[in-house]
Amino acid sequence: MNPSDSIPTLLSLIADRDHFLVTSHARPDGDAIGSALGLMHLLEGLGKQVEVAFADPIPVIYLALPGANRITHTLPTNPPDALIFLECDRFERTGFPIEAFDHLAATFTINIDHHLSGRRFASFNWIDPHCCAVGSMVYDLAVASSVNITPAMATCLYTAVLTDTGSFTYPSTVASTFALAEHLVQRGADANRIAQQVYFSNPASKFHLLGAALRNLHVEAPLAWAWITLDDMAASNATVEDSEGIVNYLIGIVGVEAAAFLREAPGGTHFRASLRSKNTVDVASVAELFNGGGHRNASGCTLTGPLPEALDRILTQLRHQTLLT
């Protein structure tokens, strides 16, 4: 289905239903949370009953978003009329165990995604890799539905767009992204307050962890990589969310075209990898080799340990990928 046909179809699917559950991916980021809450406000504006559930905790910088206090961390026992997945390529990407969906097997599912690696796993799929954020897709839906775009909805959607464009720096940032930001600010999003909340409210542990990661920095242009272990996390008194964004320092190095940041996961048997690239180097296809996914310039996956083997596997593929471009 052409993306432009998806909105009217989705609006009629919504009109036919009353009760929705909205969820998004594990270790949620600004787009996952901002678009889920934005969609919650949209659906409630249409008179629907909405629950929002995330498997993982909400990072502290997003807790002030309007409606964040309504987020639950379990799936409802009574099946909703539709289950809406944002930015997920399969049920498991939510972080909820697959068995948690057993009682929802007959529920109508809706998948809204902007990842190149998105998959059509739901009853209805709207995947548009040209969109800078799922928040922008929710905004288009809101405009088409004629619902009142409240300051609460605008705040959530602006946060989604701000964070998923890397503060308007990624290649997905085009003229229409700024027009979207302008509309959201006109509808009541306070750009300065949101930036203060997202970028200037971090716990000190995040910077201690960054220091540990940068002690493990290796640069062999066009690649850069770094890692943190569970010991680094403990020594920094850090949480998983403190590791978000460390990879952006690596790709910020001149001459580096692809970067990998590895974080040892609890249990010590595997590593979460965050990959970033510049220009035409495609790290989504590298992540997909390891059952992960994402965008051309930002992706992630899980690697089995130990660390030297995990690094070797991912760096081999990144080297190969940078040579292709």
Interface region with ligand 5GP, contact rule CB under 6 A, candidates 7-15, 85-93, 99-107, 173-181? 85-93
Interface region with ligand 5GP, contact rule CB under 6 A, candidates 86-94, 222-230, 262-270, 316-324? 86-94
By CB under 6 A, is residue 117 in contact with ligand 5GP? yes
By CB under 6 A, is residue 128 in contact with ligand 5GP? no
By CB under 6 A, is residue 127 in contact with ligand 5GP? no
By CB under 6 A, is residue 263 in contact with ligand 5GP? no
For ligand 5GP, the closer CB: 152 or 262: 262
For ligand 5GP, the closer CB: 232 or 244: 244
Q: Could you tell me the CA-to-CA distances from 312 to 15, 79, 143, 256, 307 in Å, in that order?
A: 51, 44, 47, 18, 8
Whether residue 127 contacts residue 103, with contact meaning beta carbons closer than 8 Å, is answered with no
CB of 276 to ligand 5GP, least distance (A): 7
Q: Could you tell me the CA-to-CA distances from 16 to 32, 81, 120, 134, 279 in Å, in that order?
A: 25, 9, 22, 23, 43
Give backbone dihedrals phi and psi of 94, rounded to 5 degrees, phi first.
-65, -25
Using CB under 6 A as the criterion, what x/- string covers residues 17-56 for binding ligand 5GP? --------x-------------------------------
Q: Could you tell me the CA-to-CA distances from 192 to 32, 159, 162, 189, 247 in Å, in that order?
A: 21, 11, 11, 9, 25
One-letter identity of residue 217: L
Whether residue 168 contacts residue 136, with contact meaning beta carbons closer than 8 Å, is answered with no
- In the complex, which residues of this chain contact ligand 5GP (CB under 6 A)? 25, 87, 89, 93, 117, 274, 292-295, 298-302
